[in-house]
Amino acid sequence: MEHHSILYKLVVFFTLILLSCDASVDHRRAYIIHMDGSVKPAPFPDSESWHTSILSSLSSSTGEEAPATHLYTYNHVIQGFSAVLTLGQLEQIKLVSGHLATYPDSYGKLHTTHTPQFLGLGTGSGLWPASNYGNGMIIGMIDTGIWPESESFKDDAMPPVPERWKGTCVNGTDFNSSMCNKKLIGAKFFSKGLKQAGINISNTDDYNSPRDYEGHGSHTSSTAAGSPVFTASYFGYAPGLAIGMAPKAHIAMYKVLFAADTWDSAATDVLAGMDQAITDGVDLMSLSLGFFKTPYYDDIVAMGAFAALEKGIFVSCSAGNGGPHAYTVINGAPWLTSVGAGTIDREFVATVNLGNGAKIIRGQSLYPESLFVSNVSLYHGPGNTSKETCGSLSLDPKEVAGKIVFCMPTEDDDLYSQIDEVSRVEAAGAIFTTNFGKFLFPKDYSIPFVTVSLSKGEVIKNYISRAAEMAAVSITFIETELGTKPAPQAAYFSSRGPSRISPGILKPDILAPGINVLAAWAPNRAFTPVGDDYLVTDYALVSGTSMASPHIIGIAAMIKSVHRDWSSAAIRSAMMTTADIVDNTGNSIIDMSSGTAGSPLEYGAGHINPNKAMDPGLVYDITVQDYIDFLCGLNYTSPQIGMITRRSNYTCTRANLDLNYPSFMVIINNTNTTTGTFKRVLTNVGSSGSSYRAAVRVPAGMKVAVEPQTLTFTGLNSTQQFSIKVDIDLTKSTGPKSEYLGNYGYLSWYEIGGKHVVTSPIVSAFAP
């Protein structure tokens, strides 16, 4: 791929995958130990005393070895605990009665205003007023901590802390429990696992407290539920009202990610944060982090989310930043909502005025300083379209001093080396001709420059060749353009489906804003380089699926506050079946990495439409038992299922991979023709009786039969079943759109004489 170097650089920065650790610290290391809670001897009043007793028996019998150290006892997320063991103790613990399995701890690295308007949220009607802005809901954020003084966490218009809330705020480095208020109602941090791995948190710059060093947790929290801030901007870009999705919801921060040289988090700590959130009584939980794609019995996010599900807690997770290739989605367990990232209809612009108003051209820039380049000499970098255009060491500092350098694309489109070269010679600024301006991050604008498209670059080139020595330019920075088209597009970095662990369930589920989202930041953190300096900001533009998940959690909080009795599956179904499958030009959502039409492998059921999600008409509901039947269908062993469900009294008599999911996935394995059959149950969530008629939109090479074609519901909660048969014949298809996509279509149930439309994608994809 031509632009590989640029994509690679951008993708790496926001990758949140947690890496396995293979280095052990003097043969003692942390483990997560799954126990069968039902065999706890009666004398022990609680699990923790049982676990510590097991550990002390190990220590005493191993003589000279260091004693085993207890880290956390988990009350919800798993049955079991974490502890630091020697290899000898590890062997012994496997013989203890009730032991199910032990996994070594793993460690990892961390990889708005306007978004409410883009999503159609307004004060006049729709989900905002209907839910009273998420009034009273409690959102648990599992993240890097929070900056409590941020304007976004002021509690002026907040309702009182709900009486059912059991959480608290703790003291710590630069953090006082009195900093919590009616917005930030809980703040804790979990670092035992990380410290055990030899990471001295007080030795890094991070705070040994819930305070946010990174900025990431303040950003995600304010996106989900930030209070309104009327004058936020990023150095003048994206100015206006900064407000969370659910501005009247409460926030509880569970800090599990720390800035450190090697690893940022430990699985034992993430599990402890999720466990505490469940104990405290959150209504929803958002995680913008992820682990390697492992089976669900070895995936702590999947296990924690399963425990949350049983308590009625809605969990959403970032799908990962591993795109644009297929099978890169992480956090793909069917009982949580996996969120991909999309663009919004906003661009940051600089106006280029050639000569004396001879030609006005708009390009893209996020240069953070207020600067007006006025009638400055415009210098054509050496080379026209050859590979050395503004390449390394091609410019002469004397020749370009005080001038704006104009550059055409290099052969391999290495924009970064062009930026470095213009920066080296200290020219007044630059105009780069490139198709990849949209892939730049705010931090890349360390010198004043504008990127322009290839066609606009030709116009500038022609102007320079005509004007010769006299070529001059004026540039105005810090302009924001709204309503740009097409939007949304699926972000190039957003992880694509199918899920490697269970390909038969379409993932990601849904798309939400995740590019250049403006939200609160740690105001003492060097954010963007300018020349040799760094600038700080209290509101930052940041990109990643990390930014998408908090949009969904805020919207889910509002839906939950309107529909208190809906299950997590019902809330997700409402969002999926009402999602937008076209962009603001009415065409298919574009995949930003290819610039052509994307597919549900990028955007799942589509782009979130909050107002419609409030009133979906019908939902596809799923019970805890259905998920257990699904685990049985995956052929997991009894102990493996026990680790996820934390119970041993289930039976696998109804193994079934066909969950009542609001999407349909057919996996094609080395054939041209395949048939998928599905059974579904729809539940009426409208108050009155209603009838729906099925309609399908399918491409050549896909045939869909729905039986029956009309469903009649008597009233609230009435259910109806249907079955669907999908025949794929790729020889009749117009050709796969991407490496792993077969083809795709849609099934919609139209309410007869009503307004509801309940739409699901039908997708065929190749086996991994």
CB of residue 516 to ligand NAG, shortest distance in Å: 34
Report residue 440 CA to chain centroid gap: 19
Q: Is the peptide bond before 43 cis (omega within 30 degrees of 0)?
A: no
Helix (H, G, I), strand (E, B) or coil at 643: helix
Closer by beta carbon to ligand NAG, 710 or else 714 = 714
Closer by beta carbon to ligand NAG, 313 or else 548 = 313
What angle in degrees, to the nearest 10, is found between the helix axes of 4-13 and 415-425? Answer: 80
CB of residue 175 to ligand NAG, shortest distance in Å: 9
Closer by beta carbon to ligand NAG, 407 or else 724 = 407
Closer by beta carbon to ligand NAG, 653 or else 731 = 731
d(CA 214, CA 212): 6
Alpha-carbon separation of residue 754 from 348, 692, 761 (angstroms): 41, 9, 22
> Six-digit token pair at 325?
């290739």
Closer by beta carbon to ligand NAG, 421 or else 583 = 421
What angle in degrees, to the nearest 10, is found between the helix axes of 545-562 and 216-225? Answer: 30
The alpha carbons of the chain give a radius of gyration, in whole angstroms, of: 27
CB of residue 300 to ligand NAG, shortest distance in Å: 20
- Contact between 761 and 733 under an 8 Å Cβ cutoff? The reply is no
Catalytic residue (one of 36, 105, 143, 444): 143
Closer by beta carbon to ligand NAG, 88 or else 382 = 382
Dihedral over alpha carbons 519, 522, 524, 527 (to 10 degrees): -60
* Angle at CA of residue 452, ends 448 and 458, nearest 5°: 125
- Contact between 426 and 451 under an 8 Å Cβ cutoff? The reply is no
Closer by beta carbon to ligand NAG, 158 or else 187 = 187
Closer by beta carbon to ligand NAG, 503 or else 598 = 503
CB of residue 718 to ligand NAG, shortest distance in Å: 9
Look up residue 341 and give its amino acid: A
Catalytic residue (one of 34, 51, 99, 216): 216
Helix (H, G, I), strand (E, B) or coil at 530: strand
Report residue 453 CA to chain centroid gap: 29
* Angle at CA of residue 513, ends 510 and 516, nearest 5°: 150
Alpha-carbon separation of residue 98 from 26, 105, 625 (angstroms): 28, 20, 24
CB of residue 701 to ligand NAG, shortest distance in Å: 11
Closer by beta carbon to ligand NAG, 637 or else 717 = 717
- Contact between 302 and 644 under an 8 Å Cβ cutoff? The reply is yes
Catalog residues that contact ligand NAG under the rule CB under 6 A.
Answer: 168, 170-171, 176-178, 200, 202-203, 356, 375, 382-384, 472, 565, 634-635, 647, 649, 669-672, 716-717, 731, 767
Closer by beta carbon to ligand NAG, 57 or else 377 = 377
Half-sphere exposure of 698 (CA within 13 A, CB side): 24
DSSP 88-136: HHHHHHTTSTTEEEEEE--EE----TTHHHHTT--SSSSHHHHTGGGTT
Closer by beta carbon to ligand NAG, 56 or else 465 = 465
> Six-digit token pair at 29?
């290391």
> Six-digit token pair at 722?
């249907």
User: Does residue 205 have an active-site annotation?
Assistant: no
DSSP 533-600: EEE--SEEEE-SHHHHHHHHHHHHHHHHHH-TT--HHHHHHHHHHT-B-B-TTSSBPEETTTTEE--H
- Contact between 607 and 487 under an 8 Å Cβ cutoff? The reply is no
CB of residue 26 to ligand NAG, shortest distance in Å: 14
Residues 6+ apart with CB under 8 A from 229: 151, 152, 241, 242, 243, 539
User: Does residue 143 have an active-site annotation?
Assistant: yes
CB of residue 365 to ligand NAG, shortest distance in Å: 22
CB of residue 670 to ligand NAG, shortest distance in Å: 6
Closer by beta carbon to ligand NAG, 672 or else 710 = 672
Longest dimension (CA), the chain: 92
d(CA 378, CA 517): 33
Among residues 548, 514, 609, the alpha carbon closest in space to that of 318 is found at 548
> Six-digit token pair at 11?
């993708």
Among residues 425, 432, 437, the alpha carbon closest in space to that of 408 is found at 432
Catalytic residue (one of 316, 502, 546, 549): 546
Among residues 764, 747, 768, the alpha carbon closest in space to that of 599 is found at 764
Alpha-carbon separation of residue 323 from 273, 515, 593, 601 (angstroms): 28, 14, 9, 11
- Contact between 407 and 418 under an 8 Å Cβ cutoff? The reply is yes
CB of residue 167 to ligand NAG, shortest distance in Å: 11
Tally of residues, the chain: 768
User: Does residue 216 have an active-site annotation?
Assistant: yes
Tell the residue number behind the tokens 């409690």, with chain if given: 138
CB of residue 296 to ligand NAG, shortest distance in Å: 12
Closer by beta carbon to ligand NAG, 407 or else 540 = 407
Catalytic positions, please?
143, 216, 546
